[in-house]
Chains A and B, each alone.
Chain A
Amino acid sequence: MTGRLVLVPAVLAALVALAGPAPAHHVGAYVPQDNAVTTNFKQVKFSVQAGKFDVAQRLFESGPLRAEMRAHAATLPSGLEDGTRAALAAGDGPEVERRLMIFFAALARDLALEADRQIARPDVTADARVATGKKFLEAIWRYYNLVDFAVATRDNKASVAVRLAFDEAETYVKPAPAGTAPADPAGLVKPLQRIAQVLSTLIESSSMSPRRNS
């Protein structure tokens, strides 16, 4: 064997190995799953849509959706849980949908309020506040997205306002392109407050009487 014979493949291999940045290693992908509450919501919703109110009621009675309603009773309109059960017992699909819409809108509103509070903390770095804002937005959307259609059919202005505020908030948590200034977390405050305010109004108006404006 000549020295050249050893050298050529070695140089070639070194070039291939070192040409780019650190190679991407296969570390698996994460696909977010529904949590217990959203899973139970979908079970109840699909049972109601199929007209199986006895099944929906059983799933509601024994599932985490009802437990979550009880846990958040202090921030929910009074009688939401009892009203949902009564609507299920009466086989009133639109009323079940309205009450579940109120519940998830309240969850999203509470998250928006908490996000607003945490992002305002002065003792946390801007990067950490942006990261926190991003996580809260994901959580808010996870809940709101479940009932957006129901919101839009009852109060399309509220639906559009929430989505616009959400889109605006997202611009503040996207990674800044190279060479540009990092996003200012203070910009998140206004859209988050708008989400909370619109959802509060929606909950209030929807809790009084069912209505449609579409």
Chain B
Amino acid sequence: MIEPDSPTWRVPPRWVLLVAVLSIVAAEVGGGAMARFKVELTRWARDGMLARPGVHGLVGVRDVDERILDEALVKFDAGLRLFHMHAEGMGLVIIATSMVAATVIQNAAARRAIIALLTTGGAGYPVGYLVWSALIPSHGLERSKTIAEWLVWVPFGTATIVALWCLAGFVAWALIAHRRA
């Protein structure tokens, strides 16, 4: 067992680093595209919503519909922003947590499993915001959220949470073992 305060940090597998860096790259590209194509994206989403009035509960009265469209467009934009922020942040989280796992966990199978969960969960979770935004014009606010939730947020988020709890357990165990030694 490596001592928790050992200065020797282990680098996680390269594929993990690649996924993390790609997540950050996707976040930056997404953020840039969001700003550059803001008008086009808004127009696309608005046209998509106007083409499906039943899905969004549009009633054909401007004073009522403008509020519905405004809320959907605000959420559409929020989804893109949240993808940008989460993909950026989770890229760094993947690097940091997988490095801790690579350093602290001695059991090879457990280490591989936790690093795999951290990486897939961390890289997949932000995509849920992109899925949510993309589905809003065609499926409406609530249905698109439900789809994104069960397709992406729940599985990938759960993978990350489970992996982080396991990692916390291993770190705590390493600390206890170090004190006993």
Instruction: Give residues in A with beta carbon < 8 Å to B.
Output: 1, 5-6, 8-10, 12-14, 16-18, 22-23, 25-28, 30, 32-33, 35, 107, 111, 114, 118, 128, 131-132, 135-136, 138-139, 142-143
Residues B61 and A9 in contact, CB atoms below 8 Å apart: no
Q: Which residue, A13, A22, A32, has most C-beta atoms of chain B within 10 A? A: A13
| A-chain residues with CB within 8 Å of residue B18 when the two chains form the complex | none
Q: Does B44 contact A (CB under 8 A)?
A: no
Given contacts A25-B153, A35-B66, 6 further A-B contacts (CB under 8 A): A6-B110, A9-B166, A30-B75, A111-B63, A139-B61, A139-B64
- Is B161 an interface residue when CB atoms closer than 8 A count as contact? yes
- CB closest residue in chain A, given B169: A9
Residues of B within 8 A of A (CB): 57, 59, 61, 63-64, 66-68, 70-71, 74-75, 78-79, 81-82, 105-107, 110, 128-129, 132, 145, 149-150, 153-154, 157-158, 161-166, 168-170, 173
CA A17 to CA B153, docked complex, whole Å? 12
Contact check, B75 vs A13: say whether CB atoms are below 8 A apart: no
- How many A-B contacts at CB < 8 Å in the complex? 100
A118 to B, closest residue via Cβ: B59
Among B64, B153, B162, B163: residue with most chain A CB under 10 A:
B64
A–B Cβ pairs within 8 angstroms, 27 of them: A5-B170, A6-B110, A9-B165, A9-B169, A9-B170, A10-B166, A12-B165, A13-B161, A17-B161, A25-B145, A25-B149, A25-B157, A27-B78, A27-B79, A27-B82, A27-B145, A28-B78, A28-B79, A28-B81, A32-B67, A33-B70, A35-B63, A114-B61, A135-B59, A135-B64, A136-B59, A138-B67
Query: A138: which B residues are within 8 A, CB to CB?
Result: 64, 67
Q: Do the beta carbons of A8 and B169 come within 8 Å of each other?
A: yes
| Interface of A: prevailing SS | helix
Given known contacts A17-B158, A28-B78, A139-B64, is B70 in contact with A22 (CB within 8 Å)? Answer: no
Q: Complex formed: what's the CA distance from A17 to B159 in Å? A: 9
Residues of A within 8 A of B71 (CB): 30, 32
Among residues of B, the one whose C-beta sits closest to the C-beta of A132 is: B59
Residues of B within 8 A of A1 (CB): 105-107, 110
CB distance from B132 to the nearest CB of A (A): 7
Whether the pair B132, A27 counts as a contact (CB closer than 8 A) is yes
Cα of A107 to Cα of B61 in the assembled complex, Å: 12
Shortest distance in angstroms between A99's beta carbon and chain B's nearest beta carbon?
20
CB proximity of B148 to chain A, nearest CB, Å:
8
Q: How far is the CB of B93 from chain A (nearest CB, A)?
A: 15
| Nearest 8 A/B pairs, CB to CB | A9-B169, A13-B165, A28-B78, A1-B107, A13-B162, A139-B64, A9-B166, A30-B71
**Shortest CB–CB separation between residue A108 and chain B, in angstroms?**
10
Complex Cα distance, B161 from A16, in Å, reads 9
A143 and B63 in contact, given A27-B75, A30-B71, A32-B71 (Cβ under 8 angstroms): yes
CA of A8 to CA of B162, assembled, Å: 12
